[in-house]
DNA sequence: CCGATGTATTTCAATCCGATATATGCAAAA
DNA sequence: TTTTGCATATATCGGATTGAAATACATCGG
């Protein structure tokens, strides 16, 4: 599944510029399970426009740089549906955190502790953000799909936090605090 | 963290050829949190040899193609330790499974069900393999690091399975069966 | 007024993936 | 028996992707 398909998917929720798609991938819901950089998003959008799956409309903005807003065409929506039904590949996971801790013996105990504590902080922040009623997290997404995926991610983050909490003694960390 | 560091990490457990490193990344413990292809492993090993972090010894084998066995040098071990203590980046996750289900509304219900059922099968197989006493899974890895990471992964897979089980009704799946 | 930050796009070297090519031996199917 | 497929083993290369920098303009705080 390439970046073009990802762009179609994001655009299915409404028109957006390349910059806005990138922001969605960095800060929004998609950030938990996909990624892409400017260097792949912009070329993908250009190609999709050429193929007729999106239309790009130059939009002059007062007090901002112009932006090119892309919009899904009917053909693009059909194409997205088609691509989503293609066979999917396995999850791609690349965790430097786990790679480093796999070699915990080569690290000073102090460094192990710091890694774990930082991870716990990140997980707590992430869970809080996903649980909290969502001032910041604009709940643009409605329907069962986003809700299902949201629950899926939350379940994983909570499991990670629980596990780290259960391993506190192992890393000589101070006692558990409430999640 | 690049492929070269990954090669140093795998070689820390004992000498290996490029092919054996790849196998370890596909089938072994590393497969759950890292990845690399031949196209990046072989050049990385050549570069590491040139830099003096590994030594490559041609080894003729009866009834097999020759292989080049790489071995960590003392300088390589120091370099690995140094690189493992560098600041780590965030986890990279790319899940086509979650991308597709995020857009569940665009899919036929039959397709949703098939995806979930396949995922459940994969997770069950994965958990069984990690839990089972390990005839196949050669427990080459000793020490607290691998054990910690093993538990971490297992906790995540179990949480995923539990969540999917709790969502069965949502996908019109038959009743829960024992994990 | 000046630097920092946010919006917006483009470009590019370095990296990495995925597939293919090449070579060999073994085992099972045809 | 032949041949087909599979496992071992490395090299190579086109194409996709990353990550960072370059460019441009506007706003806001000090």
Cβ of residue A70 lies below 7 Å from strand C: no
Tokens 């065409």 found at: A73
pLDDT level of residue B149 (50, 70, 90 thresholds): very high
DSSP character string of A40-76: HHHHHHHHHHHHTSEEEEEE--TTS--EEEEEE-HHH
Interface of B with A in 118-177 (CB under 8 A): 141, 143-146, 148-149, 151-153, 155-156, 158-160, 162-163, 167, 170
- Token reading at A173: 């960390």
Q: What is the mean pLDDT of residues A134-152?
A: 79
Give the closest nucleotide to B22 (alpha carbon vs C1'). Answer: D9
Contacts with A129 (C-beta within 8 Å, 6 or more apart), sequence order: A136, A137
Which string of b and e fits B78-114 if b means at least 16 CB within 10 Å? ebbbebbeeebeeeebbbbbbbbbbbbebbeeeebbe
Measure A44 CA to nearest chain B CA, in Å: 17
Element (H, E) at B158: helix B144-166
Numbers of helices and strands, H then E, in chain A: 7, 3
State the Cα–Cα distance between residues B126 and B119, nearest whole angstrom: 10
Q: What is the mean pLDDT of residues A90-110?
A: 94
Cβ of residue B37 lies below 7 Å from strand C: yes
Cα distance from N-terminal residue to C-terminal residue, chain A: 36
Across A10-19, A109-118, B62-71, least confident range: B62-71
B109 touches chain A (CB under 8 A): no
């Amino acid at each position: 599944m390439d970046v073009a398909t990802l762009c179609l998917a994001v655009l299915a929720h409404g028109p957006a510029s390349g910059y806005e798609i990138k922001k969605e991938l960095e800060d929004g819901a998609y950030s938990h399970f996909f990624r892409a950089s400017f260097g792949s998003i912009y070329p993908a959008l250009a190609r999709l426009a050429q193929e007729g799956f999106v239309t790009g409309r130059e939009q002059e903005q007062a007090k901002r740089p112009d932006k090119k807003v892309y919009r899904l065409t009917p053909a693009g929506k059909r194409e997205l549906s088609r691509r989503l039904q293609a066979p999917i590949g396995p999850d791609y996971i690349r965790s430097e955190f786990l790679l480093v801790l796999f070699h915990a013996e080569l690290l000073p105990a102090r460094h192990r502790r710091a890694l774990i504590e930082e991870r716990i902080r990140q997980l707590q922040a992430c869970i809080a953000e996903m649980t909290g009623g969502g001032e910041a997290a604009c709940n643009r997404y409605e329907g069962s799909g986003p809700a299902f995926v949201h629950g899926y991610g939350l379940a994983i983050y909570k499991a990670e936090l629980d596990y780290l909490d259960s391993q506190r003694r192992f890393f000589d960390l101070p006692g558990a605090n409430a999640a």
